[in-house]
Structure 1
Amino acid sequence: MMRKYIVTGTYALLFLAALTSCKKFLDVVPDNVATIDNAFTMRTQAMKFLFTCYSFMPKNGQLGDDPAMVGGDELWEIPERGAYLDMAKGFQSKVGPLGDRFQPMYQAIRDCNIFLENIGKVPDMQETERRRWISEVKFLKAYYHFILVRMYGPIPLIKTNLPISADVNQVKVVRNPADSCFSYIAKLLDEAAPGLPLTIISPTTEAGRITQPIALSLKAKVLVTAASPLFNGNTDQSSLKNLDGTPLFNTTYSKVKWDSAATACKRAIDVCESAGIKLYVYNPAFQQFTLTDTIKTQLSIRNAVTEKWNSEIIWANTQSNTADLQRLISSWWDPLYLDGVITRGELSPPLKIAELFYTANGVPIDEDKTWDYNGRYDLHTAGDADKLYIRKGYTTAGLHFNREPRFYADLGFDGGVYYGQGRFDDKKYMDLFYLEGKFKQRDGKGKYGYNTVTGYNLKKLINFQNTINSSNDYSVIDYPYPIMRLSDLYLLYAEALNESGGPSPEVNKYIDLVRKRAGLGTVASSWTNYSTNPVKFQNQDGMRAIIHQERLIELSFESQRLWDLRRWKESSKELNNPIKGWDLSQTTPISYYRITVLFNQTFGAKDYFWPIAEGNMTANRNLVQNLGW
C-alpha cells in the first residue's frame, strides 16, 4: 500500500504546527479525485504530475512574478504600478514580504518529492523514459531550493516528505547552513544530469523541458553564487545562528569554492557547445532592405534574447508571456494608428543605466581618454555619421554619442533611431524610425498613456519584427523569456577563473567572445589603447571590475542585475544612489536635458535577504529570522 504524506493548505509543507486541509493537485488525476494512488496508476496520469512539478516555475520577466525586473534599480516605473516597485523603494516587510516565495517553493518541493517517491510504481513506462522524468524532477527540486537560497539565504532542506505519522517536533524543521544548502543542490544536479537528453528532439512538444546543458549550466550558476562574497566568507552574517547555536554562514573565505565553480562552468560550456549552442549572430537568409553592419550588430544583440530558441538559448521559460511584457514596454509608436492603450512605454531605464554602457571604444565612459565625460550632459547635434544611431540634425545630450552598440540596441531615447516595428522613415535603410521624447511629443510625457518616466525606453526585450498596421493593431511576436544564455555562462566562467587564479588568456578569451558579438574590440586592445587605466585588466581587482561591468551590460534587463549585485555584495553601494532621469516636462533641449531626481533609494545590510514571513515564523518556532528583520 502506498504511503500517505503530509499535504498542506495555507502554509508550505513542514512549516505548520498543526496539519491543515488537503490540496488538490493540478491536472493530476481524473474526475477531480485528488489521491496519490490514482496519480501513479498509469503513465498518462504520471505525466500530468510531472507537468505539475514544472508548473511551479516562477514566470521570469513578468512584473507580478519576477522581483528582478523592478525590484532593484535597473528599471523604474510609474508609482501606481505593482508591489515590486515598492520593494525597490525600500518598503519590504516581514508581515507580508513583497515577492515572497517561501510557501509556493516548498509546495513545489513537496510535489517533487511525491513524484520521486512514487514514479517507480508506474507500470506502463519504458525505463529510459522513467529515468529521464526522474532526472527532470530532481533538477526542478534543485532549482526550487536554489530560488529559496538566493532569496532567503540558509533554508530548511526538504530531502524527503515526512509521513502522516510524523509528530509535531519532526514537522518543525530548522534552517540548514548555507554551505549544506549549496552542496545538496549541486548533488541533485549531479544526479539529474546523466539522465537528461543533450538536446530536445521534438521542440513542438517538448520545448522548455530540461536538458543536460540546462542542468550543468544551472550547477555552474549555483556554484558561482556559493563562491561569491554574499555566501563565501560573509562576516556580516556571523550572528545568524539556529536556536541551538549552529552557525548558518561559514565566515571563512574559501578559494576552493571558486575552483569548483570554474570547473563546473567549463564542463557546462563544453556540453553546451557539443549540443550546438553558440553565440547568436544575426545573418538572415533573405533581407529585402539594405542592412548595414551597424544594424546587423544591433539585431544580433537584440535577437539573442527575442528570437525564439535561437542558437544561444540554453534555457528559456515557456510559461512567461512576453507578448504582454512587450506591449507594456513599447513606446507610443504612432499617434495616427495607436490609441496609447496597446503600447505604454511603462518600464524606464534610469540615467545610471544609460551611463553604465561603454563608449564606442569598449571602455567605461569615465575611463575613455578620448571621450568627454565631464561634458556628457552638454548638447550636441547629430551629423551624417551619427544617422544610424541618432536622427540627423537632432539635438540631444553628449551622453548619447559615440557609445557601444549595446547602448543603441538596448535603449531608446529622445532622438534615438529605433530599427524595426514596421516603421519607414528612410527607405534606403528600412525602419529608421526615431523617438521624440520631449513634453507632449510622440514618445514624451503629457499625453494619454505612460510612455517614459526617465527619458529612456527599454528596447532590448522587444522583437524587432513586431509590426504596427493601420488597423489600430500592434502585432507582437511572443518568445520564451531567457533564463540562461551562453553569454551568461561564458562570463560566469571568466569570473570564476579570475577569482580562482587571476587574469589569464583563458579569462580574456571568454570575455572577448561576448565583446566581439557586441561589436567591440578585445579587453586588452580596448584598455591598452583607450583607457586612462591601461593596465587595469592585468590585475585581479581590475579584471574583476571589468567582468562585473561586462555582465551588467551584456545581461541588462534580463532579470540578472538584482541577483548579481546581491551576490557581489555591491547592492549597498549601487542601491543607495538616486534614481535619475531627464526633465520630462520640458519642450526644448536645453531645458529637457536637465537631471531630475525621481527617487532616493536606500539599501541596508538586512536587504540582502528576504525576511521570512511572520506567519511562517509563528507556525514554526524553530525557524530563526534573517538579520535585521
Structure 2
Amino acid sequence: MKKIAVSVFIGIICCLASCKKYLDIVPDNVATLDNAFAMRGEAEKYLFTCYSYMPDDAVPNGGPALFGGDEIWELPDISETSIYRRLAEGDQNVISPIGGDYWENMYRAIRDCNIFLENIGRVPDMEPHEKRQWIAEVKVLKAFYHFLLLRMYGPIPVVRANLPISAGVNEVKVLREPVDSCFSYITQLLDEAKEDLPKVIVDPQYYGKITQPVAYSLKAKVLTFAASPLFNGNTDEASLKNPDGTQLFNTAYSEAKWQRAADACREAITVCEAAGIALYKHPNVKAAFLISDTTQTELSLRMAFSEKWNSEIIWANTQSWIDRMQILASPDWDPSPQARVWMDNRYNAPLKIAEQFYTSNGLPINEDKTWAYADRYTTRPATAAHRLYLRNGFTTAALNFNREPRFYAYLGFDGGIWYGQGKFNDKKENELYWLQFKLGDPIGKTSAFNGPVTGYPIKKWIHPDNVRSPSSYTTIRYPWPLMRLADLYLLFSECLNEVKGPDAEVFQYLDKVRTRAGIPGVLTAWADFSSNPAKVTTKNGVREIIQRERLNELAFEQQRFWDLRRWKLSLTEMNKTITGWNVYGSTAESYYRPTNIFQQRFGVKDYFWPISENNLNVNTNLVQNIGW
C-alpha cells in the first residue's frame, strides 16, 4: 500500500495513543488504510480519531483563551504555570510562537478528516444512512478545525483534499486564501453536513458527538465572526497580500454579512429549541433541602456551565474533562483549623473583571445612579440581609455589595459565601462555607506560590457537589462546554442590532439571558436606574450593552479572549494594568487596596498569530502576518 502523502507545511501524521475517554479511540497500530476501512468497527475507530484532535480546553496549556488574555491571572509557580501566561505578558515571537503547535495539530486533524472522507465509502458492513451521518460529523469537524486556525491566524491555506503522493514541489507550497474564501468554505462544509446529522444523541456513550444543533450553531458563530470588525472591513490588514498580489482581507465593510449571520442564528435557535435545548434552571432541591430563590438562581448560573449534559449545552468537548483544573482553581473554602488540603486557588480574576459585572439592577457599576461607584474600594460590614452572598458581620469591600447574581455565582472573594461542597441547607447561616483570604487567615497567602492571586477565585468552574474532607478533595468531572444556548441568544441579539439597530427582537433575546440571571430587562433597567437612559436608543449604545452582557454571561468560558479580538477591542482592554486586592494585607484596611500586578501590552500585530519562521522557510509561498 502506498504511504500517505503529507505536504511539508502540515508535517507527518502522528501515531496517536489510545485514551480511555469515549469519543477518543484511535486505531490500534493500523498498518494500512485497507485495514482501517475494511470493516465498520475499524472505520469507527478512525472516526473517533477525527474527534481526538479537538483541543483540550480544560488544561492550562490546552489553548490560549484561558490564560493568554486578561480575564484570569495565575500564580507564578513555574511547575504549573501555563505557557500562555507568556502570551498574556506580551512575549509572543516568530522563532517559536507561543501556541504555535496549533498550526501543525489542526492541519494533522484536517488531513485525517480528509482521509476518512476519501475512504469511508468503501466500508462494506454499514448502512447508507450511517455512512451519511459519519461523513456529516467529519465534515463538521473539518469545518471546526479550519475555523480554529482562521480565528487565530486570519487567512489560512484551505485543505479541501489531501495532496497525492505524486504532488510536485509547487503544489506542496500552498498559498493562504483570502479571509472571505476561508469563511465561505467552512460554511459550505457545515451546509453539506447539517441535514444528515441526528437532532439529538440518545445513547449516553455517544454524548458529545455532533448533532444538527451543533452544526447550525457552529455556522451561526462562524458567520458572526465573519461579520465582526476583525474580519469585516479591517483596513489594518490592507497590506497583507500573497506573493501573487492577492489581497487576503476585504477592507470594504459589508452589512450583508451581519444579515447572513443573523439568519444563521435564527435558524440555529429554531433547531436547538426544537431539539429540547433550553436555558438551564436548577430544580430547587439540593440534598432533600428546598433552597431559596436566591440560591436557586446562583445554582442555575453556576451549573449551566458545570452540570454535564444539562438542558442548555449545545456542544461539549469530550476530549476535555474538567477535573484537575477544579483542584487548581479551588480555594480551600473550609476555614476550620485543620490540615490544609492541596487546593491551589491559583487562578483568579483581575479586579477589572470583578468590576465588569453589573449591579443588582442589571447595570454597569458606573452607570447605576443608585450605586456608589466612587466608594467601591471602601469597606463596610455585611448584615443578615446579605447572608446568602456575604458572611453576616464580615467587613468587606463595598464593591462586593449589591451586585448581580452572576457576580456571586462566578466569583469567590474574602467574606463571600461559597454554597455547596457538602453543605446545602441555605436556611442555616452557620452551615455555609465562606472565604477568608487575608494574610494570616486559614486560606490566606503563605508564599508567592499559593493563592490568592487577586482575591477573586473562579467559582464558576467548581461544581457545587465537590466535597472536601480533612485530607482530600473529590471533584465532579464534566466536559468543557463549547457552546450553550445563552451564547447563541446573545449572538443573535448582536447580529440583529448591527442590521437594524435596537428593536423589540434584539431586547427579547437579551432579556431571556438577563431574566435567568436574575436582573431586570434592558429597557426597565436603563429607564429606572441608569444615569444614561438614552443608551438603549442607539445602535452604538446597545452594541456596548450586548458586548457587556456576553462578557458577563460567558465569563471564564474562553469566549472573552476571542470576542475582544473579533470586536477589535483587545487594543484597549489588553493594555490595561492587571490589578487585584493586596493579598498580603492582614487587615481590612490593608487588604482592600487595589494593587498593581502586571502592566499588559498589546499591539495591532497581536490580533493574529505569527506563522513560525520554520514554516515560512519551508513554504516560501506563505506570507507572514503584518507586524511580525
Report TM bin, short chain: over 0.9
Counterparts of 1:216-255 in structure 2 under 5 Å?
A: 216-255=216-255
Q: Is the 8 A contact 2:336 2:442 kept in 1?
A: no
Counterparts of 1:27-38 in structure 2 under 5 Å?
A: 32-38=29-35
Q: Is the 8 A contact 1:348 1:455 kept in 2?
A: yes
3-state secondary structure, aligned to 1:535: helix
Q: Which residue of 1 aligns with 2:9?
A: 15
Q: Which residue of 2 aligns with 1:359?
A: 359
Q: Is the 8 A contact 2:8 2:172 kept in 1?
A: yes
3-state secondary structure, aligned to 1:321: strand
Q: Which residue of 1 aligns with 2:48?
A: 51
Which blocks of at least 5 consecutive residues in structure 2 are unaligned?
19-24
Deviations 1:367-413 (A, max 9, x none): 00011001110111111111111111111111011100000111101
Q: Which residue of 2 aligns with 1:607?
A: 606
Cα root mean square deviation, aligned: 1.8
**Alpha-carbon distance change, 391 to 261 in structure 1, aligned in 2, over 3 angstroms:** same
Q: Which residue of 1 aligns with 2:39?
A: 42
Q: One-letter code of the match for 1:177?
A: P
**Alpha-carbon distance change, 449 to 336 in structure 1, aligned in 2, over 3 angstroms:** farther
Q: One-letter code of the match for 2:552?
A: I
> How many Å separate the matches in 2 of 1:48 and 1:23?
15
Counterparts of 1:139-150 in structure 2 under 5 Å?
A: 139-150=140-151
- Shift in Å at residue 625 of structure 1? 0.3
**Alpha-carbon distance change, 66 to 341 in structure 1, aligned in 2, over 3 angstroms:** farther
> How many Å separate the matches in 2 of 1:404 and 1:96?
43
- Shift in Å at residue 62 of structure 1? 1.8
1:397 aligns with 2:394: no
Q: Which residue of 1 aligns with 2:594?
A: 595
Q: Which residue of 2 aligns with 1:558?
A: 557
Q: Which residue of 1 aligns with 2:199?
A: 198
Q: Which residue of 1 aligns with 2:444?
A: 444
3-state secondary structure, aligned to 2:184: helix
- Shift in Å at residue 321 of structure 1? 2.4
Q: Which residue of 1 aligns with 2:406?
A: 406
Q: Is the 8 A contact 1:266 1:493 kept in 2?
A: yes
Counterparts of 1:62-211 in structure 2 under 5 Å?
A: 62-79=59-76, 80=78, 81-100=81-100, 101-203=102-204, 205-211=205-211
Deviations 1:516-564 (A, max 9, x none): 0000111000000111111211110000000000000000000100000
What is the TM-score when the length of structure 2 is the normalising length?
0.95
> How many Å separate the matches in 2 of 1:382 and 1:31?
60
Q: Which residue of 1 aligns with 2:22?
A: none
Equivalenced residues, count: 618
> How many Å separate the matches in 1 of 2:448 and 2:27?
49
- Shift in Å at residue 422 of structure 1? 1.8
> How many Å separate the matches in 1 of 2:114 and 2:576?
44
| Among 58, 63, 68, the residue aligned to 1:61 | 58
> How many Å separate the matches in 2 of 1:104 and 1:339?
43
- Shift in Å at residue 429 of structure 1? 5.0
> How many Å separate the matches in 1 of 2:345 and 2:41?
44
> How many Å separate the matches in 2 of 1:601 and 1:389?
32
> How many Å separate the matches in 2 of 1:338 and 1:124?
61
Q: Is the 8 A contact 1:320 1:481 kept in 2?
A: yes
3-state secondary structure, aligned to 2:315: strand
Deviations 1:143-194 (A, max 9, x none): 0000000000000000000110010100000000000000000000001101
**Alpha-carbon distance change, 21 to 581 in structure 1, aligned in 2, over 3 angstroms:** closer
> How many Å separate the matches in 1 of 2:444 and 2:180?
50
Which blocks of at least 5 consecutive residues in structure 1 are unaligned?
8-12
After superposing the two structures, state which structure 1 stretch, 374-383 or 25-34, moved more: 25-34
3-state secondary structure, aligned to 1:480: strand
Counterparts of 1:313-462 in structure 2 under 5 Å?
A: 313-334=313-334, 339-340=339-340, 342-423=342-423, 428=428, 431-446=431-446, 450-462=450-462
- Shift in Å at residue 507 of structure 1? 0.4
Counterparts of 1:572-591 in structure 2 under 5 Å?
A: 572-591=571-590
Q: Is the 8 A contact 1:227 1:258 kept in 2?
A: yes
Q: Which residue of 1 aligns with 2:495?
A: 496
> How many Å separate the matches in 2 of 1:498 and 1:22?
45
1:620 aligns with 2:619: yes
Q: One-letter code of the match for 2:585?
A: Q
- Shift in Å at residue 99 of structure 1? 1.4
Q: Is the 8 A contact 2:576 2:599 kept in 1?
A: yes
Q: Is the 8 A contact 2:349 2:458 kept in 1?
A: yes
Q: Is the 8 A contact 2:332 2:443 kept in 1?
A: yes
> How many Å separate the matches in 1 of 2:297 and 2:27?
52
Q: Is the 8 A contact 1:29 1:39 kept in 2?
A: no
> How many Å separate the matches in 2 of 1:29 and 1:602?
42
Q: Which residue of 2 aligns with 1:515?
A: 514
Q: Is the 8 A contact 1:114 1:161 kept in 2?
A: yes
- Shift in Å at residue 4 of structure 1? 5.5
Q: One-letter code of the match for 2:64?
A: P
Deviations 1:330-369 (A, max 9, x none): 0023376875453111101000000000000000000000
> How many Å separate the matches in 1 of 2:627 and 2:290?
58
> How many Å separate the matches in 2 of 1:365 and 1:580?
18
Q: Which residue of 2 aligns with 1:264?
A: 264
3-state secondary structure, aligned to 1:320: strand
Q: Which residue of 1 aligns with 2:21?
A: none
Q: One-letter code of the match for 2:223?
A: L
After superposing the two structures, state which structure 1 stretch, 233-242 or 460-469, moved more: 460-469
- Shift in Å at residue 5 of structure 1? 3.4
Deviations 1:35-59 (A, max 9, x none): 1121111111111110100000001
3-state secondary structure, aligned to 1:456: coil
Q: Is the 8 A contact 1:77 1:453 kept in 2?
A: yes
Q: Is the 8 A contact 2:382 2:390 kept in 1?
A: yes
Q: Is the 8 A contact 2:282 2:296 kept in 1?
A: yes
**Alpha-carbon distance change, 129 to 529 in structure 1, aligned in 2, over 3 angstroms:** same
Q: Is the 8 A contact 1:340 1:448 kept in 2?
A: no
Q: One-letter code of the match for 2:63?
A: D
Deviations 1:292-341 (A, max 9, x none): 11111100000101111000000001121201111110002337687545
Q: One-letter code of the match for 1:466?
A: N
- Shift in Å at residue 32 of structure 1? 2.3
Q: Is the 8 A contact 1:435 1:442 kept in 2?
A: no
